[in-house]
Chains A and B, each alone.
Chain A
Amino acid sequence: MAYSDKVVDHYNHPRNVGSLDKNDPSVGTGLVGAPECGDVMKLQMKINPETQVIEEAKFKTFGCGSAIASSSLATEWVKGKTVEEALSIKNTDIVRELALPPVKIHCSVLAEDAIKAAISDWKRKNTEVEKPAASSAAGQS
């Protein structure tokens, strides 16, 4: 199979590879896919609780070149975005950007799932600590 130049570029020079401390309350971790299916993506984001801006994003992916490229692109795109903006990223945007063929569309779906999973992990972590933080923030305003 021939890969698009963009997929090859992300595969050869993946952006934002690595891991963030999953125990840090400001870090959301999304782990999607399954080893038996041949692809697993781990996407992590460090989110500023005040601004809700994604300040840092890291990934690690077990999967084909298109899966690696999709997750690498996802980290590039979410960085600097707010949580709401990141949630609006659609798998079809990834398909278009990377010119993925039909058999590789599931890679883009996985990347979208990874973004959503990381954000919901972050939200879950912050529901308990959020209240006092939110009230103090409200008090200041």
Chain B
Amino acid sequence: MAVKLPIYMDNHATTPVDPRVVETMLPYFTEVFGNAASRNHEFGWKAEEGVERGREQVAKLVGATPKEIIWTSGATESDNLAIKGVAEMYREKGNHIITEVTEHKAVLDTCKRLEKDGFEVTYLPVQKDGRVDLDGLRKAITPKTILITIMYANNEIGVVQPVAEIGAIAKEKGVFFHVDGVQAVGKIPVDVNKDNIDILSISAHKLYGPKGVGALYVRRRNPRVQLAAIIDGGGHERGMRSGTLNVTGIVGFGKACELCQQEMPTESVRLRGLRDRLKDAIFSQLDEVFVNGSMTYRLPNNLNISFAYVEGESMLMGINDIAVSSGSACTSATLEPSYVLKALGVGEDLAHTSIRFGLGRFNTQEEVDYVAARVIETVKRLRELSPLYEMAKEGVDMSKMQWNTH
């Protein structure tokens, strides 16, 4: 069967909006356009109804109550509000924050800013499989610790952290626990109570909703979390986040969450099957390929592979009818290879050869087979071109060679 090109397999970056979500959103652009904060006419009330339905749908997906959901512009804002909000509100209690080295930049850079502001931040290392060590976490907690912020699942390698265990430790020590749930929510079961999460960042566009809308779950009891606002204004969202609500986006976000919840049991199995099919095809045809991060504790839709001796950007150029990402320096804004892979102990040489596949709701088996064939063919071609592959085949120990690094 012919597949339609190009193929999108970069669903950790963003996802297309599900047509059912679009359909739900459409009336809110034109007919139901009111400001949800307009309390004295029908237009406002209808908009508010949409917003509150969305709040219920988002809350339900993560086992929260609607009142605990705060709307934001996206997960970067949610992460900022969670971390800066706790830091400012509880500064008298302590100035220590714990996070991990493989967090998203929205968390790491927020922590770095707080360090300039007098906070102390511990960046926990990760083990070879990408997970934090719980003993290490325990040891890092001090009487001054006010917040632990650890992501649910990583955006590059899809590795899922022991969130419930971390949450239990945080609870025992009386420290708030913030989770960046961007990649996990809607893909695997996330429950703020079972997982002992106090604050949870969620993004709509990673779960087949629209861009520009996110949410922050903020626990109201056991314990009650208060956040200092970072945006001042009309006092919307219980004073934690002022600004006219993105009603259309919120309506779409809610619908997207509802669909994820309904379809997760079958969809996660389907995606896992496709992901494993892709992995098996690649591993059966190519030598010297390595999975980065744990295969056991991993999102069902993620595959991150290093294709030794084939540089990532040249690989992307060879499979230019397929949208995926690479951890190669050449593809990053900083010209540094992936800091996430580095944290796992993956050598820089292998980090340059990594490719991230992010499967999604609209990928088919035919597409997976096409991608596997293209990847295999391209790696073989580029290895014919690779002096490193040739040296490896001749048995040269490249780690002992003198390279003229520049």
Chain A contact residues, CB within 8 Å of chain B: 3, 8, 11, 14, 17, 19, 31-42, 60-65, 67-68, 103, 106, 109-110
A-binding residues in B (CB < 8 A): 309-314, 317-318, 328-330, 335, 337, 347-349, 352, 384-390, 398, 403-406
Closest residue on chain A to residue B399 by CB atoms: A35
Q: Are A61 and B387 in contact (CB under 8 A)?
A: yes
B386 touches A33 (CB 8 A): no
Given the known inter-chain contacts A35-B403, A36-B349, A38-B330, please indicate yes or no for A14 contacting B387, CB distance below 8 A. no
Contact B385 A17 (CB under 8 A): yes
Query: A3-B317, A61-B385 are contacts. A38–B311 as well, Cβ < 8 Å?
Result: yes
A-B contact pairs, 29 of them (CB 8 A): A3-B317, A11-B317, A14-B385, A19-B390, A31-B387, A33-B404, A35-B348, A35-B388, A35-B403, A36-B349, A36-B352, A37-B329, A37-B406, A38-B311, A38-B337, A38-B348, A40-B387, A42-B390, A60-B385, A60-B387, A61-B387, A62-B309, A63-B311, A63-B314, A64-B313, A64-B314, A64-B328, A65-B314, A68-B385
Question: B352: nearest residue on chain A (CB-CB)?
Answer: A38
Task: Report the minimum CB–CB distance from A124 to chain B (whole Å).
Answer: 16
What's the minimum C-beta distance from A32 to chain B, rounded to whole angstroms? 6
In the bound complex, CA of A62 to CA of B384 (Å): 10
- When distances are taken between beta carbons in the complex, the residues of chain B under 8 Å from A35 are 348-349, 352, 388, 398, 403
How near does chain B come to A77, taking the closest CB pair, in angstroms?
Answer: 18
A106 to B388 Cα, complex, angstroms: 19
B394 to chain A, nearest CB (A): 10
Question: Min CB distance, B48 to chain A, in Å?
Answer: 45
Q: How far is the CA of A24 from the CA of B337 in the complex (A)?
A: 37
CA distance A62 to B328 in the complex (A): 12
B330 partner residues in chain A, CB cutoff 8 A: 38, 64
Check A110–B388 contact: CB distance below 8 A.
Answer: no
- Residue in chain B with minimal CB distance to A72: B385
**How many Å lie between the Cα of A67 and that of B329 in the bound state?**
13
Complex alpha-carbon distance, A3 and B314, angstroms: 11
Residue of A nearest to B350 (CB): A35
Report yes or no: A39 in contact with B311, Cβ–Cβ below 8 A.
yes
Q: Please provide the 7 A-B residue pairs with the shortest distance between their CB atoms, ordered closest to farther.
A: A34-B403, A35-B349, A42-B387, A64-B313, A36-B348, A60-B387, A38-B352
Known contacts A38-B348, A62-B385; 5 additional CB pairs below 8 A are A31-B387, A33-B403, A35-B349, A60-B387, A62-B311
Beta-carbon contact of A36 and B314 below 8 Å = no
In the complex with contacts A11-B314, A65-B313, A41-B405 CB distance below 8 A: no
> When A11-B317, A36-B349 are in contact, do A61 and B404 touch as well, CB less than 8 Å?
no
Closest Cβ–Cβ distance, residue B10 to chain A (whole Å): 16
Which of A14, A34, A61, A65 has a CB less than 8 Å from the CB of B406? A34
Closest A-chain residue to B404, C-beta based? A32
A41 near B317: Cβ-Cβ < 8 Å: no
CB distance from B198 to the nearest CB of A (A): 40
* C-alpha gap A110/B406 in the complex (Å): 9
Contact of A17 among B311, B335, B348, B384 (CB under 8 A): B384
Whether the Cβ atoms of B314 and A68 lie closer than 8 Å is: yes
Q: Please, how many angstroms separate the alpha-carbon atoms of A3 and B348 in the complex? A: 25
> Does A36 contact B403, Cβ atoms closer than 8 Å?
yes
Whether A36 touches B347, Cβ cut-off 8 Å, given contacts A62-B310, A64-B313, is: yes
Q: List the B side residues contacting A37 at CB < 8 Å.
A: 329, 348, 405-406
Which residues of B have CB within 8 Å of A11?
A: 314, 317-318
Q: A100–B404 Cα gap in the complex (Å)?
A: 23
Q: Which of A3, A60, A64, A65 contacts B386 (CB 8 A)?
A: A60
Q: Is the CB of B349 within 8 A of A61?
A: no
Q: Which of B310, B314, B329, B337 has the most CB of A within 10 A?
A: B314
Rounded to whole Å, the gap between the CB of B17 and the closest CB of chain A is: 27
Minimal Cβ-Cβ distance residue in B for A36: B348
State the CA gap A61–B270 with chains docked (Å).
39
